[in-house]
Structure 1
Amino acid sequence: VGRQLLVSGDVVVLTEMEHHSNIVPWQLLAKEKGITIEWIGVKDDFQLDEENLRFILGRYGDRVKLLSVVDVSNVLGVRNNVKQLISIAQQAGAATLVDCAQSVSRFKIDVKEWGCDFLVFSGHKLFGPTGTGVLYARKQWLEKLEPWMGGGEMVVSVNKASAIWADSPWKFEAGTPNIAGGIGLGAAIDWVDRNIDFSEHAVNEKDLIDIALKGLSQISGISILGPTDSTERFGVVAFSVDKVHPHDIASFLDEDGIAIRAGYHCAEPVHKRFGFGSTARISFALYNTKQEVEAFLDSLSRCIKKFR
């Protein structure tokens, strides 16, 4: 998308809470094509600073071609007001892309309500196979964009001088696709549609996060990255422990059969924004229980006693 839409001097707007997958490709494109990247900051209350976006749009005008923003942060757990951000950007003539990898398994998402131009998420975030993903684009963009790679099955006709592309979306499906991955992702989506009540899941997840936050707050030396109110965060809790490295925590909990993540979680800028090094992160899914959260807190307490 960016390679076709952007030219030297154009501006892409990102946020400080983006996953590296929504930072590094734009940095590569900046080197390749001479585009400029501008940043929406995160305020001390962990919310995006919408005035930053307005300032950037006012400064660069029609040079701003794209706003690319995450729906839910995979570190802070906050959900952004993407509908408002999309509206602000589009009023200034910029296209919009939303990363829903962290939200697609938690919320019913209506692209028509948001009005976004593009939306992406990873297949494994919906319990599908790794190596799969989804790109939604409005029809006008699908018609406008050229194929990003060439191969068989994407054409109507080919001669020695040129080719006629198939209609969208088939013109973007060159060669043999990841058939097994696509079938697996489709099955996962069907299962979620048939079996998951998102409202019920939201209540259960809030309860789990509430237990985790309260338990962590009672352990000495723990700093939580993001809101400490369970109504303001979704899916994840990232934290650090004084004098205990996150990788040691992850290894210790792994021996107890508890899987967490340690490091920057592919979101180093937001860690640096709040003065954190790497963190440990617990993540909640449809199948997690209160007993598992209690087991995590018990294992973490024993880990801290061992390493301190």
Structure 2
Amino acid sequence: MEIDLKYIRSQFPILTQTVNQKPLIYLDNAATTQKPFPVLEAEDIYYKTINSNVHRGVHTLSQLSTIEMEATRGAVKEFINAKKDYEIIFTKGTTDGINLLASSIEPLVNKGDEIIISTLEHHSNIVPWQFLAERKGLILKVIPIDENGELLLNEFEKLITEKTKIVAINHISNALGVVNSIEHIIKKAHEAQAFVLIDGAQAISHKKIDVQKLNVDFYVFSAHKMYGPTGVGILYGKEKLLERMKPYQGGGEMIKEVTFEKTTYADLPFKFEAGTPNIAGNIVLKKAIEFIQNIGLENIEKYENSILKYITKKLEELDGITTYAKNSTSKTGVVSFNLDINNIHSSDVGFILDKQGIAVRTGHHCAQPLMRHLGVTGTVRASVAIYNTKEEIDLLIEGITLAQKMLQ
């Protein structure tokens, strides 16, 4: 199927504006994607027509809001092929989902147990595990990477012992775009009776996810990286594990009965959904899923990979550029690079590109351990989505060339 790029771009009103008197070229999609009309309009309709708290009222608006939000839970279940609706937990985002897990899984680990993460992780998949390790006296281990930015799987297998209880790995590196061999990691971790969390924040809008086929224990992602709203995320977890975990927060919704002597907890998924959720955001996530499904994830992945190859090729044609993980065997969505000019920071390049209307991300990308491994303080990161074009990439290359001239 050929995608209708003109139509797709017409669905994103922000793409029609200018920045610094230049047409906006938005290449910061790994940070957050733009939102199409169906998502924007759905949120407006919610607040204008059925705004009400969910699950707690017998009146019509409350029931309608509840139906719409639970329809999203069902849509997410189908989107990632979970077994049950109640294995889908609404969160504030990927970070919140990982923190929820790192707190709630505490009863399942003991002093001296081990957690394995990797050099490629976002801070959100490092710091919560450090918190847990400090609370419970656990040992944190780190999978190293090779010169292509890929995990050294033989070293990973050496790290696993009978004390390994949690393996937490990103599906795709937010800083390099490297796609990790999560199938192998899940298999080896399960052989050691360890639980596996996959951080899918960078994968969910680029690749088809089937949590049953992966046999993953937990999978987390954010709506705002898949054309949906901010402040909304999903934690998928296997029912048998979620049942054994303690609640993350206390309050309304997550209780069955409260007395001053003792509280009992609600059934899944509400055990982990204390308080009033982001109702509007949760509802319109369904529209973001439908937007992706209407195009087709296979079509999205194929098109975005063609844009990624085009960027990589154009960067290779320039002198004085270091591109990181350019020889990785599997990448999606991201190109990370620096200009080979002494005493400049990636933000200097980003500032010049911004003056040309080009939005990229600069800095350490919340991956400081990885940046230290690369021997840099940060990189320039261009990340693509379904609405980006080769013409935009040509303008990016022109902007980089201008930056080279200005910073020499």
Q: Which deviates more, 139-148 or 180-189?
A: 180-189
Same amino acid, percent of matched pairs:
39
Mapped pair 1:235 → 2:333: yes
Alignment check: 8 A CA contact 1:149 1:172 kept: yes
Listed as ranges, the matches of 1:1-308 within 5 Å are 1-3=101-103, 4=106, 5-57=108-160, 61-193=161-293, 195-228=294-327, 232-243=330-341, 244-308=344-408
Instruction: Tell me how far apart the structure 1 counterparts of residues 102 and 360 of structure 2 sit (CA, whole Å).
Output: 34
| SS of 2:162 mapped into structure 1 | helix
Instruction: Tell me how far apart the structure 2 counterparts of residues 210 and 155 of structure 1 sit (CA, whole Å).
Output: 51
Deviation at 1:228, TM superposition (A): 4.1
Deviation at 1:277, TM superposition (A): 2.8
Letter aligned with residue 116 of structure 2: V
Instruction: Tell me how far apart the structure 1 counterparts of residues 187 and 302 of structure 2 sit (CA, whole Å).
Output: 29
Number of corresponding residues: 303
| SS of 1:232 mapped into structure 2 | coil
| SS of 1:304 mapped into structure 2 | helix
Alignment check: 8 A CA contact 1:75 1:225 kept: no
Deviations 1:147-167 (A, max 9, x none): 111111222222232122211
TM-score by length of 2: 0.71
Deviations 1:63-121 (A, max 9, x none): 21100011111122111110111000111110100011111001110011111110111
Alignment check: 8 A CA contact 1:75 1:226 kept: no
Q: Which deviates more, 170-179 or 199-208?
A: 199-208
Instruction: Tell me how far apart the structure 2 counterparts of residues 171 and 25 of structure 1 sit (CA, whole Å).
Output: 20
Deviations 1:2-25 (A, max 9, x none): 332333211100011111110111
Instruction: Tell me how far apart the structure 2 counterparts of residues 12 and 262 of structure 1 sit (CA, whole Å).
Output: 30
Alignment check: 8 A CA contact 2:148 2:324 kept: no
Deviation at 1:186, TM superposition (A): 2.6
Instruction: Tell me how far apart the structure 1 counterparts of residues 259 and 207 of structure 2 sit (CA, whole Å).
Output: 47
Deviation at 1:287, TM superposition (A): 0.6
Letter aligned with residue 191 of structure 1: F
Letter aligned with residue 198 of structure 1: L
Alignment check: 8 A CA contact 2:312 2:326 kept: no
TM-score by length of 1: 0.94
Deviation at 1:33, TM superposition (A): 2.5
Deviations 1:278-299 (A, max 9, x none): 1100000011011111111111
Q: Which deviates more, 2-11 or 39-48?
A: 2-11
| SS of 1:180 mapped into structure 2 | helix
Instruction: Tell me how far apart the structure 1 counterparts of residues 335 and 319 of structure 2 sit (CA, whole Å).
Output: 17
- Structure with higher RCO (Cα < 8 A, 6+ apart): 2
Q: Which residue matches 2:7?
A: none
Instruction: Tell me how far apart the structure 1 counterparts of residues 120 and 179 of structure 2 sit (CA, whole Å).
Output: 11
Instruction: Tell me how far apart the structure 1 counterparts of residues 349 and 283 of structure 2 sit (CA, whole Å).
Output: 37
Deviations 1:219-277 (A, max 9, x none): 22110111247x63110000010224211111111111110000011112222223233
Deviation at 1:141, TM superposition (A): 1.1
Q: Which deviates more, 132-141 or 266-275?
A: 266-275
Runs of 4+ in 1 over 4 A off after TM superposition: none
Letter aligned with residue 47 of structure 1: E
Alignment check: 8 A CA contact 1:253 1:259 kept: yes
Instruction: Tell me how far apart the structure 1 counterparts of residues 396 and 371 of structure 2 sit (CA, whole Å).
Output: 23
For the aligned residue pairs, the C-alpha RMSD in angstroms reads: 1.5
Instruction: Tell me how far apart the structure 1 counterparts of residues 398 and 148 of structure 2 sit (CA, whole Å).
Output: 29
Alignment check: 8 A CA contact 1:16 1:270 kept: yes
Q: Which residue matches 2:95?
A: none
